[in-house]
Structure 1
Amino acid sequence: MKTLHGVQNWVGGLLLASAAGFTVASGVLSSTFDWPDILREPAPVVLASFHAGGPSLVWTWFAVAWTYALVGVPMSMMSAALGRGTDPVLRTAGAIGAASALLSLIGFLRWVFVVPALAGSWAAGDTAARPAIEAAWTARHQFGGALLGEHLGQVLAIVWSATVSVVVLRSGALPHWIGWSGLAASALYLLNQGDVLATAVPGVPVWEPAGLIGGTAWGLWVAAVGVVLIARRHSASTGSIRVAR
């Protein structure tokens, strides 16, 4: 039992740390780089803005990438935290969740290792060279951003949260409100795929608030799971003390 409580404490703490860290880092990014709205701007606008941001913007992206990637660890440990370490569904979901964090990490880190060189070349290039640089940026943006991070990364994260929510509802491993709210947050977050697909397939229906509302709801749900896991651990510890008395 002590082992289970220890795992719940670690997983809950990591969920909270990743949610809080990403919220702070992405908040800084939003205020300094107009993220995520700038992702849909034309290449010249993005490259000029990124180059103007300098090294501090690169480090902000570095922080955003790794604070989000941290969530992959508790995702992979959720089966153990729920006391269902041999559950094949949760173990599979854990692998899917870890994969989603890795794909999102790759998508975020392109801003650290790929975009600076393109933005620098664009800023230093003449009008004849810029169209080729803009085409290179667009190709990498669609592959690393839209495909890996925004599509595969988000969809796999949604699969993880929806699976955990269903298991919670069926098993009672956590309060049922965690399961229902997880399904609701997952559904809202999935609506953001319209915006992602529209970057490649014109005419796909897009609900503009889906990214903000869905992403925020999903992040709050992750933090709520963390709080519940820690609270259960401490409640169990308090209960043990009372029994001993």
Structure 2
Amino acid sequence: MTGWLLVTAAAGFAVASSVLSATFGWPDILREPAPVVLAAFHDGGPSLVWTWFAVAWTYGLLAVPVLLLAAALGRPADPVLKAAGAIGAASALLSLIGFLRWVFVVPALATRWAGGDPVTRAAVEAAWTAQHQFGGALLGEHLGQVLAVAWSVTVSLVVLRSGVLPRWVGWSGLTASALYLLNQGEVLATAVPGFPVWELAGLLGSTTWGLWVAAVGGALLVRRPRRDASTGSIRAARQAGIRPAG
């Protein structure tokens, strides 16, 4: 179940975000001035709102398999994986909040802006910028992404040290995490003008990270759980007609 949920969440988000990119110019439009974003959002109508709704919840679904991963790997009591699960779930929640503001906050602002006079538009643009920096840049893009990287790095290191999944899962996870972390340059540049930015970091980082999540799900689906030695011995003894002591 955990494997299928990881694959489903990654695939669902990829489809929904691709539709959003084609219809709204996401994520490039996020760095455009408020009037450009508000006008484009208003022109998108209800279908754009539902697209954002789909983007939000396909990503939010990721919290479930993240919390189940320790048990799926046969290490439910591992404190490192348990902590990583909490961090990953928090990341998904913060990103979900960032996405859902496009469903519950931005539509009202776009409507007021489209029908307002210059004074009203100026006020709405200021409100838009404030919520965009708080709900988008701070919660979703900074905290959400940094915690997501912390989760994937931790899982990758556990995989490399324990061998619960193939080693390529661990190495590819570290690579994807490093690329995804580089996107923080663009996020920090929204608050610190002149901060170094690598333009391709967002696309490469989010794409490789999403593919890695799907790969973890696939690796779980084909994984053969390790059988505990004592359990195997008892089963073999019973099959031989020997009653184990105790």
TM-score by structure 1 length? 0.91
1:161 to 152, 162, 166: 152
Matches within 5 A, 1:58-73: 58-73=49-64
Matched with 1:227 is 218
Q: Counterparts of 2:104 and 2:225 in 1: how far apart (Å)?
A: 42
What is the TM-score with the length of structure 2 in the denominator?
A: 0.91
- Residues in 1 aligned to 2:114 and 2:224: alpha-carbon distance in whole angstroms: 54
Alignment correspondent of 2:31: 40
RMSD: 1.7
1:215 and 2:191 correspond: no
Query: Could you report, residue by residue, the CA deviation over 1:194-236 in whole angstroms, capped at 9, with x for unpaired residues?
Result: 0000000111100000000000000000000111100115999
Contact preservation (8 Å) 2:74, 2:225: no
2:172 equivalent to 1:173? no
Q: Partners of 2:217 and 2:133 in 1: how far apart? A: 33
2:130 aligned residue (136, 139, 153): 139
**1:84 aligned onto 2:84:** no
Aligned pair 1:191/2:182, yes or no? yes
Shift of 1:128: 1.9
Change in CA separation of 1:49 and 1:235 when aligned onto 2, cut-off 3 Å = farther
* Structure 1: 5+ residue stretches without partners: 1-9, 237-242
Q: Does 1:205 align with 2:196?
A: yes
Provide the C-alpha distance between the structure 1 equivalents of 2:224 and 2:52, rounded to a whole number of angstroms.
34
Q: Is the 8 A contact 2:42 2:110 kept in 1?
A: yes
- 1:23-59 CA-to-partner distances (Å, cap 9, x unmatched) read 1100000000000000000000000000000000000
Q: Distance in 2 between matches of 1:216 and 1:188?
A: 10
What SS does the aligned partner of 2:161 have? Answer: helix
Matches within 5 A, 1:94-133: 94-133=85-124
Moved over 3 A (4+): 233-236
- Residue identity opposite 2:185 in structure 1: G
Among all aligned residue pairs of Structure 1 and Structure 2, give the percentage whose two residues are the same amino acid: 76
Aligned partner of 2:20 among 21, 29, 32:
29
Contact 2:95 2:141 in 1 (8 A): yes
Aligned-partner Cα distance in 1 for 2:200–2:226: 38
Number of corresponding residues: 230
Q: Which amino acid aligns with 1:54?
A: G
What is the alpha-carbon distance in structure 1 between the residues aligned to residue 56 and residue 119 of structure 2?
33
Measured in 2, the distance between the counterparts of 1:234 and 1:227 equals 14
- What are the superposed Cα offsets for residues 121-170 of structure 1, whole Å, 9 maximum, x if unpaired? 00000112111100000000000000000000000000000000000000
- Code of the residue aligned with 1:229 in structure 2: it is L
Q: Are the counterparts in 1 of residues 88 and 148 from structure 2 also a CA contact under 8 Å?
A: yes
Secondary structure of the 2:223 match is helix
Distance 1:163 1:232 in 2: 20
Unpaired stretches in structure 2, ≥5 consecutive residues: 228-235, 240-246
Once the two structures are TM-superposed, the CA of residue 77 in structure 1 deviates from its matched residue by 1.2
